[in-house]
Structure 1
């Protein structure tokens, strides 16, 4: 697997980029300490923003760390809606799901998902770990959540889940699989972004490395990887392929990935978004081949 970087683009007016999804002629994006959903044009200029958080504790464009919902993922669902999850790294502030219906104007639904996140926290798979949802992907009516450390993928039926959070059904069956991801300086990376190749039945994920003591505190950014997991035949492969994402003048913490164009089998154009933990965002325009 190889990655070719085409360009690095600094994005103005989008703090702490953490999630991105291509839609129509542009891109929706979120920041982990911002209450807004941003829309960017093809030149990655912010042309509009929509308030999606009920949080009132923000100064200008950024929410204070202790109170932020910590939105870390945004994923397109069937071309008609998007979802973004709070990380769950602090309860109840980060136990949030926002469902965005892509009407004009956008329709925003906010849900407190503390019961769901508490269920995850109490599962055996989370023993000696922390809940820290960093990415979301969607394929064939299945939603995939990606936990940072442990590096877990949690899969469930999306339609059933919507009924659950509305109080109309029991929790759907969860499939959980643990991964051991590549390291930098002896520190294992953790899932940070994900999406799915619809034509090729493969998860594309990003994983980043921070020298931090837990999911709440920031640490020195050491770098990031991009990888691929096969999900054909409705199963999550136990193996993956990956490569390092090259740094420019700084070490990048890649937070999200979206597919710009599936060029051909074995070659795809991607857009990555990064967060420097100081409020800035950089786009990495790239192509992967395998």
Structure 2
């Protein structure tokens, strides 16, 4: 087992239900599953900026039936890509955002998501995108297996056209006798590092009792797990991003969704040996 060191790095006031995180140039970028905003926290200035991703009457603490459920964020070539989970009728948007140009675009992924479900035999109750990784000319979308049939796995799509290419299932260990499912993923030096949470529920829509989160590594070439390890048996970490790396260790930032009515987000740092 790898020796993990996990600690609270900071607390950001003004963000609830953090669901995805990207670290870049001393700035922490976060999306929330009950907000339509993109949050940018400047660590040096200790200031929080908020950018509206889509138009809505309510920007934060959006009611469950109305929320866009932004669960996955990734960044490539200066552009942020924010994916809705697809776990409900209003949750099918992909937002692209270039902060340097203040350029935003919205793409309706409903036909893409429906195509994925049909092609790979996954019901809408088992469909729940929680992580996204840019892999060359492909998108790898990580489906959280917290639906009734526990369809934990990875969809592979052609990046430009969103044409479905493949799906492969990933079997993950349990925490406190509850199955874990992907909550986020990030690419580092050719390997995919991910978080997966255990929640005592058979629904991709309704929350359940949190049983913890693990971290793991996936080899995209072989599509095999290389290891998993428990991070916590009480926290639900929903976002992971590389913070720093050296020859002998990697440091990741994690964001947490406490499934509680709080307007502050703790950012954790986990250090693992190479």
Cα shift at 1:129: 5.7
Cα shift at 1:77: 1.2
Question: Is the aligned partner of 1:288 residue 2:272?
Answer: yes
Are the aligned partners of 1:135 and 1:193 in contact in 2 as well (CA < 8 Å)? yes
Q: 1:174 aligns with which of 165, 171, 185?
A: 165
**Aligned twin of 1:268:** 250
1:62 aligns to what SS in structure 2?
coil
More strand, by proportion: 2
Question: Is the aligned partner of 1:35 residue 2:29?
Answer: no
Distance 2:210 2:43 in 1: 28
Cα shift at 1:11: 2.3
Question: Is the aligned partner of 1:239 residue 2:213?
Answer: no
Cα shift at 1:242: 1.2
Unaligned runs of 5+ in 1: 162-171
Runs of 4+ in 1 over 6 A off after TM superposition: none
Q: Structure 1 pair 99/85, CA: closer, same or farther in 2 (3 Å)? A: same
Q: 1:189 aligns with which of 137, 156, 180?
A: 180
Q: Structure 1 pair 212/173, CA: closer, same or farther in 2 (3 Å)? A: closer
Are the aligned partners of 1:19 and 1:257 in contact in 2 as well (CA < 8 Å)? yes
**Aligned twin of 1:167:** none
2:160 aligns to what SS in structure 1?
helix
Distance 1:111 1:258 in 2: 24
Are the aligned partners of 2:125 and 2:204 in contact in 1 as well (CA < 8 Å)? no
Q: Structure 1 pair 223/8, CA: closer, same or farther in 2 (3 Å)? A: farther
Cα shift at 1:153: 0.7
Deviations 1:176-204 (A, max 9, x none): 1101111022211000011000xx21000
1:244 aligns to what SS in structure 2?
strand
**Aligned twin of 1:166:** none
Distance 1:196 1:72 in 2: 17
Question: Is the aligned partner of 1:96 residue 2:97?
Answer: no
2:72 aligns to what SS in structure 1?
coil
Deviations 1:93-125 (A, max 9, x none): 001111112324x21111111101111222334
**Aligned twin of 1:211:** 200
Deviations 1:205-258 (A, max 9, x none): 000011113010011111000000112xxx2422331111036xxx11000100
Residues 129-208 of structure 1 aligned to structure 2 (within 5 Å)? 130-149=126-145, 150-161=151-162, 172-197=163-188, 200-208=189-197
Cα shift at 1:82: 1.1
Residues 106-121 of structure 1 aligned to structure 2 (within 5 Å)? 106-121=102-117
Are the aligned partners of 2:8 and 2:266 in contact in 1 as well (CA < 8 Å)? no
**Aligned twin of 2:148:** none
Q: Structure 1 pair 67/95, CA: closer, same or farther in 2 (3 Å)? A: same
Instruction: Let me know the Cα RMSD of the aligned residues.
Output: 2.0
Distance 1:69 1:236 in 2: 34
Bigger Cα displacement from structure 2, 275-284 vs 182-191: 275-284
Distance 1:262 1:187 in 2: 32
Distance 1:19 1:226 in 2: 15
Distance 1:285 1:98 in 2: 27
Distance 2:208 2:215 in 1: 20
Unaligned runs of 5+ in 2: 146-150
2:235 aligns to what SS in structure 1?
coil
